[in-house]
Structure 1
Amino acid sequence: MAWIVPISARVLTVQIALTTIADWGLLLLAGNLQDYDRSGQSLALIKGYTTMAHFDWIVLGAGITGLPLAYELQKVGQRVLLLDKVLAPVNATAYGYGGVPYWSGTTPLLQQLCRESRALLGTLAQELDGATEYRELDLLLYLQAGDDPQGLEQNFRACLTPPTLLDQATVLALEPQLNPAIITGALTVPHGHIHPIKTLQAYRQAFLRLGGEIKLATVQRFLHQGDTLTGVVTSRATYAAPNIVVCAGADSRALLSRIGVDLPLYFSQALVLQTPPLAQRLAPLVMPARFARLALEAQASSLDWSTPTDTVQAEVLEAGAIQFLDGHYLLGQISQLVTHPAYQPDPIASEQRLRAAIAQVLPNLANVPAQLHHCRVAFASPNPLVGQVKTRPGLYLFTGFSSPFCYSLPLARHFAQAVTTGHDAIFTTLNQQLQALDAKQ
């Protein structure tokens, strides 16, 4: 059975949905609204045109899920339109650590994707003809007083590559900046790392070279025939496609709610410190061995997301650090469960808390110049949402990845494989999981 029926040249008769997606803004770039053609050249904004443009796929969201998927679909011969409110994301992709935990899969499906991710990233820069800064480095999952080393080691036994337990002396030899008064040991494992923004830039240019199109515009309404989605109306034009895939990160939940789709897709609020390039060198990626954020995400399904509030329902603070190849750092992360998408944390108090936590683990980095950044991070429970929403024909999801730099890239290829051949075992498994969730709505 084929998953996709490419759009024909016929004119679609459509009914305009009454839904307005008001929270998708237009990009103001250097004072001008801009668009990009297939060569990547900037085009002037043409106001008021209403031509119906036809595509095989409309991909909503140009982050680390949407761009790879758009590229893979275009590569297998689909005509793809990529829509987003900004060209350069100011979101979880931009402020992500860029870690690729290809060692961490705990099920046969995830372990296969981990192997594929490592192999894919090893050649991706060459394929895209652009920099990704992919490298492999040590991940140090540090232990503190009160931690149970053997118990934490046991937590990772099911992983594709279980981390190795190290004593304090070995850990401090590997990374001298760690605080010997706090760090009692660590678990370590080889770990991948990319530069998220450069990787997106490489995907974007490769997508455009293949003939893909990117539009920066506000999505105002969905087109539909009965329950079947057939396109979107933006502030600039109308676009028709038999397949619309939501890859909009933390905006995905709002998009889906406007068309009556309620799935276990949530977001957290994240705060991190970003430094300029610094002379201090940090060799490994440093993170706590206790993954408190996973426990926080597990609480999301118990919250009332239908009535958003600014109340912090739960939070964790993790003192981690990664240094990129140009010398800049990302330091720490506060993760908060707050249901209101426009929530604004206290920037002064948040920075103070992050610096205090970093001082305990990496004291030399506690007072370096840094800027606080805040974004939302999408996640789904228990797995990412990948596949077709059966109750809304024409609607697909590719969102909710807890480790997007690892899993979204190979999964984009599996998605495209399903499009061209009509079958793909991994896509089929995730699609069945999504449809089971959809049936419970």
Structure 2
Amino acid sequence: MKTYDWIVVGGGITGAALSYELAKTGFSVLLLEQDETPHNATRYSYGGLAYWSGTTPLTRQLSEEAIARYQILSQELDADIEFRELNLLLTIPAASDPKAVAANYANFAIPPRLLTVKEACELEPLLNRDAVSGALTVKHGHIHPEKTTQAYIQAFLRFGGEMQISQVWQVLSNGVKTNTATFHSANVVICAGGLSRQLLKSAGIPIKLYFTHAEIIKTPPVDVRLSTLVMPANLQRFQLEAKSTQVDELWNEPGNQPVPPILDAGAVQFQDGSLRLGQISRTLTDPHAEVDSQESESWLRESIGQVLPALANLPGTWHHCLVAFSSNSLPLIGAIPEFASIHIFSGFSNPLVLVPPLAQHFAKFVSGKDEIISQLLSDRT
């Protein structure tokens, strides 16, 4: 019977990056992913890297580490992750005061620059000038999330890591039980995004980790050219997350919806010409809840059409995934109290920025000591 040092549950970018860093450090690692082709948050992500958005010394440090990491990551992983820099355009609704909205960003590491309507339309010619009173702009990183995840996995396998397509049914103190076998390990770390709460509940572990049902439209490569990554300056998602976690007990029963759904109209074009148009966020407490895809797609297209009319009727397919979050925007990282062999690495508010540096820090922490992970743990107490 083989016993691994670590079993990592979840093959999105979080689990892939962590598996790679643990294997690189010298641990024996088994990575488990339930789907041959995952339908997770990584697959449907915009791919944006908001390394400019740190508001505390810790998040600013991690953002600086992230951009340095991404600049060498393609070479280290021996794969093209399509890392680039583009202009982020944060749209300000026609009824809002641009200066008041801009003031909300004053504490960011790199505050975005305020644009007039004319300047915003020059930067993004597809923008509907009647829908905005102005916009904010800042340089923004971008990657292809799926290609980055696969690059991490292939590099992990080259370091001797193992991967199995297997659905975890139960987390044990000495491994996991799946639909194909029981695997044994000294440690288990849960990186299963929106399914993490349910998995830990199977082991009798209550945890304040939550999830939204995120919905987007993914288009094939198209001739229309979007010049920027477009998002609203007044993001509703973070308010939704904060309100939905006020009563944790609501999340223990399927069928609840702590707050109504929201839509943050945005779009990004990948290097192959395909687009991601989004995003609806719903706090449905059942991770397997059914969503009306036709109604959602209509809502998405109508909202996108108000800001970027040329994108509203492009061919595309509605998709849905779970996105994990915590109650205070800090990720949940480290051993779970009273369950020393079971760890969590999830709940990232800005995952594509924070995961690569924090995966490195986590591997250092479990090998000895790391001040960053220690600080995150102390912030939780």
TM-score relative to the length of structure 1: 0.83
2:347 counterpart of 1:403: no
- Alignment length (residue pairs): 378
Q: Which amino acid aligns with 1:187?
A: L
2:251 counterpart of 1:290: no
Kindly provide the CA deviation profile for residues 248-281 of structure 1, in whole angstroms up to 9, marking residues without a partner as x.
0111010111222222210111111111101111
Match of 1:108 among 42, 57, 61: 57
Secondary structure of 2:340 counterpart: coil
Kindly provide the CA deviation profile for residues 123-151 of structure 1, in whole angstroms up to 9, marking residues without a partner as x.
10110001210111111001122212222
Q: Is the contact made by 1:388 and 1:431 (CA closer than 8 Å) also made in structure 2?
A: no
Q: Distance in 2 between matches of 1:230 and 1:115?
A: 37
Q: Distance in 2 between matches of 1:326 and 1:129?
A: 20
**Identical pairs, percent:** 48
Q: Which amino acid aligns with 1:418?
A: F
Question: Which range is displaced more, 344-353 or 303-312?
Answer: 303-312
Query: What is the root-mean-square deviation in Å for CA atoms of aligned residues?
Result: 1.3
Match of 1:251 among 182, 189, 195: 195
Runs of 4+ in 1 over 6 A off after TM superposition: none
Match of 1:279 among 223, 248, 255: 223
Residue in 1 that maps onto 2:213? 269
Q: Distance in 2 between matches of 1:186 and 1:252?
A: 37
Could you say if the C-alpha distance between residues 325 and 70 of structure 1 is closer, same or farther in structure 2, counting changes exceeding 3 Å?
same
2:94 counterpart of 1:148: no
Which structure shows the bigger proportion of residues in helix conformation?
2
Q: How far off its partner does 1:362 sit?
A: 0.5
Q: How far off its partner does 1:90 sit?
A: 0.5
Q: Is the contact made by 1:62 and 1:87 (CA closer than 8 Å) also made in structure 2?
A: no
Q: How far off its partner does 1:88 sit?
A: 2.7
Q: How far off its partner does 1:311 sit?
A: 4.6
Q: Distance in 1 between matches of 2:132 and 2:2?
A: 59
Match of 1:189 among 138, 142, 148: 138
Residue in 2 that maps onto 1:412? 359
Residue in 2 that maps onto 1:430? 376
Match of 1:178 among 117, 122, 127: 127
Kindly provide the CA deviation profile for residues 323-378 of structure 1, in whole angstroms up to 9, marking residues without a partner as x.
00000000121111111111111111111111111111011111111111111111
Matches within 5 A, 1:19-418: 52-223=1-172, 229-303=173-247, 304-309=250-255, 311=257, 313-382=259-328, 383-418=330-365
Q: Is the contact made by 1:246 and 1:398 (CA closer than 8 Å) also made in structure 2?
A: yes
Q: How far off its partner does 1:87 sit?
A: 3.5
Q: How far off its partner does 1:433 sit?
A: 3.3
Q: Distance in 1 between matches of 2:273 and 2:42?
A: 19
Secondary structure of 1:402 counterpart: coil
Q: How far off its partner does 1:416 sit?
A: 0.9
Q: Which amino acid aligns with 2:196?
A: S
Q: Is the contact made by 2:3 and 2:186 (CA closer than 8 Å) also made in structure 1?
A: no
Q: Which amino acid aligns with 1:270?
A: A
Q: Is the contact made by 2:361 and 2:372 (CA closer than 8 Å) also made in structure 1?
A: yes
Q: How far off its partner does 1:312 sit?
A: 7.1
Residue in 2 that maps onto 1:8? none
Secondary structure of 1:181 counterpart: helix
Q: Which amino acid aligns with 2:265?
A: A
Kindly provide the CA deviation profile for residues 392-426 of structure 1, in whole angstroms up to 9, marking residues without a partner as x.
11011100111110101110000011123x11110
Q: Distance in 1 between matches of 2:265 and 2:179?
A: 43
Q: Structure 1: which 5+ residue stretches go unaligned?
A: 1-51, 224-228, 437-441
Q: Distance in 1 between matches of 2:160 and 2:171?
A: 24
Q: Is the contact made by 2:46 and 2:268 (CA closer than 8 Å) also made in structure 1?
A: yes
Q: Which amino acid aligns with 1:410?
A: P
Q: Distance in 2 between matches of 1:138 and 1:95?
A: 20
Q: Is the contact made by 1:312 and 1:336 (CA closer than 8 Å) also made in structure 2?
A: no
Secondary structure of 1:339 counterpart: coil
Question: Which range is displaced more, 105-114 or 262-271?
Answer: 262-271
Kindly provide the CA deviation profile for residues 171-202 of structure 1, in whole angstroms up to 9, marking residues without a partner as x.
11111100011122111111111101111111
